């Protein structure tokens, strides 16, 4: 674990106060679920909370103290009573294996060594199958209660209700644009303001967009939509061929952008507030595009986009997929 400090966390003020109060009052529950979209800081909050719960200076005002034996060995990554479980994210379909939970089950039977309790973090907890979840449930219910569990998930609906019901659930909201902007500026990211708009309330997603040219892909895909009805077949094939030489995820991002633009088109001639938009900074261009399309066009284009997103999961030839999608999209844009 790197250095830890509550002030590093962006946003989530109320939830953090609630967590710190529980730690201070020594009534932090034995099992909690941190739930919320990916990339908003849940893991970091869980790590700092674990450090605070393990800290030896537990009467100090500001936990974790960062100086005691426990805090120091956490920073060094050698704390014997801090245990993390997470899937192997290099796999195509990352899972937390039953063996990982069985090892955990043995671990919690041993007395803590350095602190008066053991902290267990289970990240991406939704990556446990039902067998693993049931096994974990039994572990959480072990009577001696020397371990505390923090389950972190961006997909709580995949956790068994029996498991959820044994945990206190803390929901973390999406971050505000302002939060994300300041997070990006802290990291020295360019175009922080624009990226914040399209990051869906997730700093992790914002960082990914910044690193992967997210703004450029958004601009390219909007320009494509703006020109779509005028493009001839040759131009469509050219764009398709260009895109197909890049990683599949680039085109996937195109389709996600197109889906969001189409959804914005449905509301652009209403008085609806900015925070309902995916791309409120582009409203003027969207309005122009909306003037060229009827509702039938927009809905059929949405259908085609959903369909291509489904087909992208197959092994079909990428260039053919892209070209046929573009042609159907152009057809959809011309329905009277």
The contact set with Zn ion (CB under 5 A) reads 55, 64-65, 68, 71
Return the number of the residue (47 or 264) whose C-beta is nearest Zn ion: 47
Shortest reach from residue 144's CB to Zn ion, in Å: 24
Cα–Cα dist 169/258, whole Å: 35
> Which residue, 51 or 217, has its beta carbon nearer to Zn ion?
51
Other C-beta atoms lying within 10 Å of the C-beta of residue 117: 16
Q: CB nearer to Zn ion: give 44 or 97.
A: 44
Would you say 2 or 173 has its CB closer to Zn ion?
A: 2
Rounded Cα gap, residues 30 and 137, in angstroms = 12
**Which helix or strand (DSSP H or E) is residue 301 part of?**
helix 295-311
Of 79 and 218, nearer to Zn ion (C-beta) is 79
Give me the least distance between CB of 45 and Zn ion, in Å please.
17
Residue 78: CB minimum distance to Zn ion, A = 15
Smallest separation (angstroms) from Zn ion to the CB of 318: 52
DSSP string, 209-271: HHHTTHHHHHHHHHHHHHHGGG--HHHHHHHHHHHHTS-HHHHHHHHHHHHHHHHHHTTTTS-
Q: Report the nearest approach of Zn ion to the CB of residue 30 (Å).
A: 21
Query: Which of residues 40 and 71 has its CB atom nearest to Zn ion in the complex?
Result: 71
What's the sign of the alpha-carbon dihedral 6, 140, 58, 77? negative
117: left (phi over 0), alpha (psi -120 to 50) or beta: beta
What is the bridge-based pairing of β-strands 168-171 and 82-85? Answer: unpaired
Distance CA 29, CA 18 (A): 12
Beta carbon of residue 51, minimum distance to Zn ion (angstroms, whole number): 7
Nearer to Zn ion among residue 51 and residue 163 (C-beta): 51
- In three state form, how does the secondary structure of 22-40 look? HHHCCCCCCEEEEECCCCC
Closest approach, Cβ 167 to Zn ion, in A, equals: 26
């Amino acid at each position: 674990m790197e250095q830890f400090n509550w002030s590093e966390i962006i946003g989530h003020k109320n939830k953090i106060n609630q967590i710190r109060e529980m730690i201070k009052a020594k009534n932090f529950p034995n099992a909690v679920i941190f739930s919320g979209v990916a990339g908003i800081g849940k893991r970091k909050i869980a790590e700092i909370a674990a450090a605070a719960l393990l800290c030896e200076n537990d009467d100090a005002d500001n936990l974790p103290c960062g100086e005691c034996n426990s805090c120091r060995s956490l920073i060094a990554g050698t704390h014997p009573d801090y245990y993390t479980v997470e899937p192997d994210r290099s796999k195509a379909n990352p899972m937390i294996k039953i063996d990982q939970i069985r090892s955990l089950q043995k671990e919690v039977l041993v007395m803590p060594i350095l602190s008066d309790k053991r902290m267990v973090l289970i990240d991406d907890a939704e990556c446990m199958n039902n067998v693993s979840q049931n096994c974990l449930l039994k572990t959480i219910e072990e009577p001696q209660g020397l371990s505390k569990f923090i389950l972190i998930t961006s997909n709580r609906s995949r956790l068994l209700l029996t498991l959820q019901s044994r945990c206190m659930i803390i929901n973390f909201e999406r971050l505000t644009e302002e939060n994300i902007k300041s997070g990006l500026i802290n990291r020295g990211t360019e175009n922080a303001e624009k990226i914040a708009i399209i990051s869906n309330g997730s700093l992790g997603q914002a960082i990914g967009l910044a690193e992967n040219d997210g703004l450029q892909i958004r601009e390219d895909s909007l320009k494509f939509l703006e020109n779509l009805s005028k493009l001839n077949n040759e131009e469509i094939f050219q764009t398709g061929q260009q895109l197909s030489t890049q990683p599949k995820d680039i085109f996937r991002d195109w389709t996600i952008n197109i889906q969001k633009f189409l959804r914005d088109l449905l509301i652009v001639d209403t008085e609806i507030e900015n925070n309902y938009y995916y791309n409120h900074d582009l409203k003027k261009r969207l309005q122009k595009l909306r003037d060229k399309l009827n509702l039938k066009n927009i809905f059929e284009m949405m259908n085609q986009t959903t369909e291509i997103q489904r087909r992208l999961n197959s092994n079909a030839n990428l260039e053919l997929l892209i070209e046929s999608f573009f042609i159907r999209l152009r057809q959809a844009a011309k329905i009277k």
